[in-house]
Structure 1
C-alpha cells in the first residue's frame, strides 16, 4: 500500500477508500436501482467519474483503445514469432534432408526418373510440413496470449495470476491438431510431458513441503541413467521390433544404425531362437560389397552376420568413421538455424565467436551420435563373445551401456537428449506391452497425444508464469521473446508505485 500522504492525495481526487491491493485492482459489475453499472465494492456508478473507486478507473483505462492495441499487438507478435520458429525449425531440417537427397546419383536413366519423381514428392511434403508446423506453433502462441489477456482483463492480473497461465496453456494445447487431424504425435506429446515433469520436479525441489521427497531427483548423473535406460528399449526395438517405433524415428535409426534389413532380420532370428530364413540373402548382400562369406546355420553368436569377415574391433573402428560422416549433416542445421534466428544480432557483431561455437557444437554432437551408434554394436558383440550366446535379454543388456556416450555432450544438452529418447522409449515399450496383451488399448480416446500435450503445456506455461526460476536462462529467453514478458502481478498505477 501507499504511504499516508499518497492515500490522502488519492482521496483528494475522489478515489473511494475500498480500493486495496488485495482486491486485485479488478472491476466487478454492480447494477444499482437505476440500472447503472458500478463498483461491487463501493456501489458507485460511472467508473470514469472522479467519484468512482480507483480500481474501476484502472479498468476503464485498460479498456481504452491504446491499451487494446497493445494487447492485440502482443497477440499478433506472439503468433508471428511462433510461426517463424515452427516453420524455421521444420523447414530447416527438411531443407537439409532434401539437399542430401538431391546429391544422390543413380546409375540408370529409369532410376533417375524415379528419383526425380520422389524428390518432387519430398519437396511438396516438406513445404506442407513446414507450413503445418508453423501454423501449429503460431496458433499455440497466439491462443495462449489471447486467453491470458482476456482472463487478465476480466478478472484482474493479480487475482488470476495463480491459474491464468495454466488454463491458457491447456486451451492452447489442441493447436497440435493443425499438424494434421489424422497425424499422431505420441512421441512429441510424451516428450513435452517429460519436460513438464522435469519442471514440476524442480518446483518440488525448491519447495519446503516437497523438498525432501524430490531430493533423489537431484542426482548428478540422472541424465546418463535415463539415456542408458532409453537406449536399452530403443535399440532393442530397432533390432527386434521396429514396428513399435514411430516411422520417422525408425527411418532415422535405420540410417544411422548402418545395417541392412536382412542383417537385422538375421540377428532378430538368432536372438529370438527362431530358425534362419535369410542366410542366403545375407551372403548375397555381402557379395555385392565384395565380401565372400559362408554363414554357419548352427552359429551361436551373430558376429559374422553383423560384420562379415571383419573382426569385432576392426568393425567398430570402420563403422565409427562411417557413422561420423552420417552424423555431420544431422547436427549442422541444429546449430546453424538457432544461430540465424536467436543470435541474429550477435552474428553481425561477433560472427567468428558464434559460428565457432556452432562449429564446435556440431563436431561434438556428431561425435556423440557416431560413438552412440558404434558402441551399440561394440557392446553387443562384446557380450555375445563373453557368454557365447545371443538372446533377447542379452540384446537388452548390450544396448544399455550405449547411453554412456551421452557424456560426450555438454551438460546443458544431456537432459534434453535423454528426455527426447525416453519419450520414444516409453512409446515403444507401451506398444510392445499392448501387442502382447498386457496393456489394453483405449478405443474411446483416439487422440490421447493431444490430451497429454495439452496437460503438459498447461504445466509448462504455469511454471513459466509463476516459477520462472526453474527454467534455464536460454529457454526462458526464447519464451519471453515469443510470448512477451508476463504481465505484472497488479496492473494498476497505484499498485505499481507501491
Structure 2
C-alpha cells in the first residue's frame, strides 16, 4: 500500500481529511489527536493504519492487498451464487420423477443443470473478484503515481475526494464476466437503487440538501415502496410475465403456487378476452383429485383460482403450502452471511448466532408466505365485492399485498422493497416499450453495464467519504474485502495516547 494511498484512506474515513501539508510525511499531523503531536509511521500486524504513516511501502504489500481483495471478492460471489445453485439443484433432485417425464420435451437434465450451476458460480466469483481487484488496483495506482513526488504531498489527501469514485466506475464493467450476451438490467437497477439510498442519506445529513431530502425519512416509506412494487410485479405475473426477468419469473411461478393453465385463464378473463382452454384448467384440477366443471360465462375467476374451495379456505391451505416452499429459499440467505460476517463470533457463541439465523429464516419465510397468499386473498376480496374482474381490479388487489413486509425485521425492509422496486421498474418500462410508448434504443446495447458502473462509483465514493451512511454489517463486509483500515483515531494506539 503506497504512502499516498495510506494517507488518503485515513483522510477519507468520516471526514479525516485534515493533515498539515508539510514538505515531508514526517510533518503530517492528525487533527484527531488533540495533543497535536507529530508521530512516526507504523502499521499493525493486520494492516490497520495508525495515526502515523510510513514513507515507503513495498510493491509486494500493494500486490498482497490486490490479491487478497480479489480472492475475498471471488469467495463472496462464488459462495452466494453457489449456495443458491446448490439449494436449487437439491430441490430439482426432489422433483426427479416429475422432471423425468419432461426430459423428452427438451427440459435440462440434472447433469446439465449441475454443469450450468458450476459455470454460473465461477462466473459470479470472477465478476466480484475482478471488481474488488480492479478497485484496489486503481486505488493503489493513483496513490503510487502521486506518491513519488514529495513536493505534492498535500495533493495526496485531495485524491480521497475522487479516487474511490473513479475506481468504482472503472471496476463496474467487470459485470461483463458473467456473460457478454447476458443482460443484467435487474441487477443494475437494484444497485442503482442502493446508490440512490446512500446518496439520499448523505443528502439528509447535508446542510444544503437536508430540507429537500427530509421526506425520505418517512418511517414507513419502505412498506409503501413494497406496495407500489407489488402492484406492478404481481399484475405482470398474471398479465405479462415476459416483462419480468426469467429468474424472477421462475421464482414467482414457484411461489405463486398456480399452474400455468390457471394463470392463462385468469389473464383471459381479466383482459376481457373469451376463454380458449378451460379444459386445461379442469384437467389440472382432476390431476390433483378435484373434479370441477367451470362456467365459461363466469364474472369472477375464483373457481379458476381455487376450484371447489371457498376463498377463506383457500387462503389458509395456500399459506401452509407457501410456508413450506419459502423455508428452502431463506436458509442460504441467513446461513451464508452468518459464515462470512459472523465468522469470528461463530466459534465463541455458535448457539446465539445460529439461533438468530433460524429465527430470521422462520420470520422471513412467514413474510414470503403471507405475501403470496395475501395476493390471492385481496384479489378474491375485490372480485367478490365488485362482481367483476379487470386489469384495474388486479392492480388494486395486489397493492396491499406489500403490507406483508411489516412482518420482516425493520433493517431488512428497505433491502427487500428496493429489490422489488428494481424489478417493478424494469417490468413497467418493458410494458411501456412493448406497447409502443417508448422508443427502442439501438445505440446503447449494454446500458446495464453503464448504469452498474455509475452506481458502483457512487457507492464506493460513499464508502470512502461517508461511511456512516452504511449499515454496520455491510460496512464490515466492505472493509473485509477491500482491506480499508479504520479511521486513524479509532485505532488502539491513538486511543491510548
Q: Give the TM-score category using the shorter length.
A: 0.7 to 0.9
Please give the TM-score of this superposition, normalised by the length of structure 1: 0.84
After the TM superposition, which residues 335-484 of structure 1 pair with which residues of structure 2 at under 5 Å, given as runs?
335-484=334-483
- Give, in angstroms, the shift of residue 285 of structure 1: 1.1
1:338-367 deviation per Cα after TM superposition (whole angstroms, max 9, x unaligned): 122222221111111011001000000000
Q: Using CA pairs below 8 Å that are at least 6 residues apart, which structure has the higher relative contact order?
A: 2
Distance 1:367 1:295, change over 3 A: same
- Once residues 369 and 187 of structure 2 are traced to their aligned partners in structure 1, the CA distance between those partners, rounded to angstroms, is 24
Distance 1:127 1:435, change over 3 A: same
After the TM superposition, which residues 77-156 of structure 1 pair with which residues of structure 2 at under 5 Å, given as runs?
77-106=68-97, 118-155=109-146, 156=155
- Give, in angstroms, the shift of residue 332 of structure 1: 0.5
Partner of 2:203: 204
Preserved contact between residue 320 and residue 371 of structure 1 (Cα < 8 Å): yes
Distance 1:486 1:277, change over 3 A: same
Partner of 1:184: 183
Preserved contact between residue 24 and residue 157 of structure 1 (Cα < 8 Å): no
1:420-441 deviation per Cα after TM superposition (whole angstroms, max 9, x unaligned): 0000000000100000111112
SS at match of 1:297: coil
- Once residues 455 and 106 of structure 2 are traced to their aligned partners in structure 1, the CA distance between those partners, rounded to angstroms, is 41
Preserved contact between residue 262 and residue 282 of structure 1 (Cα < 8 Å): yes
After the TM superposition, which residues 191-340 of structure 1 pair with which residues of structure 2 at under 5 Å, given as runs?
191-340=190-339
- Give, in angstroms, the shift of residue 153 of structure 1: 2.3
- Give, in angstroms, the shift of residue 104 of structure 1: 2.3
Partner of 1:72: 63
Partner of 1:171: 170
SS at match of 2:159: coil
Preserved contact between residue 465 and residue 486 of structure 1 (Cα < 8 Å): no
- Once residues 194 and 309 of structure 2 are traced to their aligned partners in structure 1, the CA distance between those partners, rounded to angstroms, is 42
User: How many matched pairs?
Assistant: 437
1:256-282 deviation per Cα after TM superposition (whole angstroms, max 9, x unaligned): 000011100111111100011011111
- Give, in angstroms, the shift of residue 487 of structure 1: 8.5
1:198-222 deviation per Cα after TM superposition (whole angstroms, max 9, x unaligned): 0000000000000000000000000
After the TM superposition, which residues 16-95 of structure 1 pair with which residues of structure 2 at under 5 Å, given as runs?
21-22=20-21, 62=55, 64=56, 66-95=57-86
- Once residues 301 and 459 of structure 1 are traced to their aligned partners in structure 2, the CA distance between those partners, rounded to angstroms, is 48
1:101-142 deviation per Cα after TM superposition (whole angstroms, max 9, x unaligned): 112241797768999971101100000000000000000000
Partner of 1:32: none
Distance 1:274 1:336, change over 3 A: same
- Give, in angstroms, the shift of residue 255 of structure 1: 0.3
- Once residues 473 and 322 of structure 1 are traced to their aligned partners in structure 2, the CA distance between those partners, rounded to angstroms, is 36
Please give the TM-score of this superposition, normalised by the length of structure 2: 0.84
Structure 1 portions without partners, runs of 5+: 1-19, 27-59, 490-497
Distance 1:25 1:311, change over 3 A: farther
Alignment root-mean-square deviation, CA: 2.2
Distance 1:317 1:142, change over 3 A: same
Structure 2 portions without partners, runs of 5+: 1-18, 26-52, 147-154, 489-496
Bigger CA radius of gyration = 1
Preserved contact between residue 341 and residue 473 of structure 2 (Cα < 8 Å): no
1:6-50 deviation per Cα after TM superposition (whole angstroms, max 9, x unaligned): xxxxxxxxxxxxxx8347969xxxxxxxxxxxxxxxxxxxxxxxx
Preserved contact between residue 61 and residue 67 of structure 1 (Cα < 8 Å): no
- Once residues 93 and 202 of structure 2 are traced to their aligned partners in structure 1, the CA distance between those partners, rounded to angstroms, is 48
Using the TM superposition, name which of 112-121 and 160-169 deviates more.
112-121
Distance 1:108 1:484, change over 3 A: closer
